[in-house]
Amino acid sequence: MINLVLFGPPGAGKGTQAERLTEKYNLVHLSTGDIFRSNIKGGTELGKLAQSYMDAGNLVPDEVTIKMLESEVDARPDAGGFIFDGFPRTETQAKALDSFLNSKRTEVTMMLALTVDDEELKTRLLKRAETSGRADDADPKIIENRIAVYKKETAPVAEYYRKQHKLKEVNGVGSVDEISRRLYEAVEDHG
Ligand code: B4P
């Protein structure tokens, strides 16, 4: 079983690359951002709770996010492996994921961390705002906040996996195909 954590700042291309990795390695793709957005669209209680955090560019509280992720994993007992896209985003989430997967006698295989500079992130997100309809993409101040939250709360998660010798950093600047190739190499290098 292979379980990949796809990591990186907002707009690094996690969603874009997760689709390709999912297909290539026959994994189940779980994007916490997508799950929250579909709950917002469906008007569920979870969506109502998540919306104010997301629109402001803040993280949804750990307790809610962890519970949601675990029930998504539990709903797919036949999965051959997962790609966690946008999760974990805090050290508390990372620890919860470890103990949850351990209880299922599996573990995170590796974290693939996309590195992209701040200017490129802002350009990509503002461009996406033209078509995404996402409030968190449209306002440069909210984008700044998302990047700041990433640096303060999320970036330390990479160190958590580095200590476990599971961190692979991949240059996230270039064409989508080039980046996919770098990611496949990183996965296959692991053996
Ligand atoms: P996410 O949905 O995870 O979104 P993201 O950080 O915006 O984006 P991603 O990196 O996937 O970008 P994409 O591929 O689309 O999170 C949104 C919010 O949800 C968070 O702020 C938070 O509030 C909440 N949330 C989610 N998970 C949570 C958690 N675990 N805990 C708490 N809260 C959580 O790429 C961006 C753009 O770049 C696209 O337009 C794409 O076309 C373009 N692009 C991609 N690759 C490119 C390339 N190589 N070159 C040029 N452009 C490229």
Annotated domain spans of the chain: 2-190
Residue tagged active-site, from 134, 162, 166, 182: 134
Cα–Cα distance list, 8 to 82, 85, 138 (Å): 17, 9, 20
Tell me if 66 CB under 6 Å of ligand 1.
no
Q: For residue 182, report the distance from its CA to the centre of ligand 1, in Å.
A: 19
The finding on whether 21 has its CB within 6 A of some atom of ligand 1 is: no
Q: Which fold has domain 2-190?
A: Rossmann fold (3.40.50)
Kindly state if the Cβ of 121 falls inside 6 Å of ligand 1.
Answer: no
Q: Whose CA is nearest to atom 45 of ligand 1?
A: 13
Q: Check if 95 is active-site.
A: no
Per the prediction, the chain carries an average pLDDT of: 96
The token duo for 17 is: 């690359």
Q: Is the CB of 87 under 6 A from ligand 1?
A: yes
Supply the pTM of this predicted model.
0.94
pLDDT tens, position by position, 71-105? 999 999 999 999 999 999 999 999 999 999 999 99
What is the average per-residue pLDDT within 166-173?
Answer: 98
Amino acid letter at 136?
Answer: D
For residue 9 and ligand 1, the question of a CB distance below 6 A is answered with no
Q: How confident is residue 191, by pLDDT bands cut at 50, 70 and 90? A: low
Which of 3, 19, 44 shows the shortest CA–CA distance to 179? 19
pLDDT digits (tens, 9 = 90+) for 28-65: 999 999 999 999 999 999 999 999 999 999 999 999 99
Cα–Cα separations (whole angstroms), residue 121 to 135, 147, 154, 176: 16, 9, 16, 14
Catalytic pick from 20, 37, 128, 162?
Answer: 128
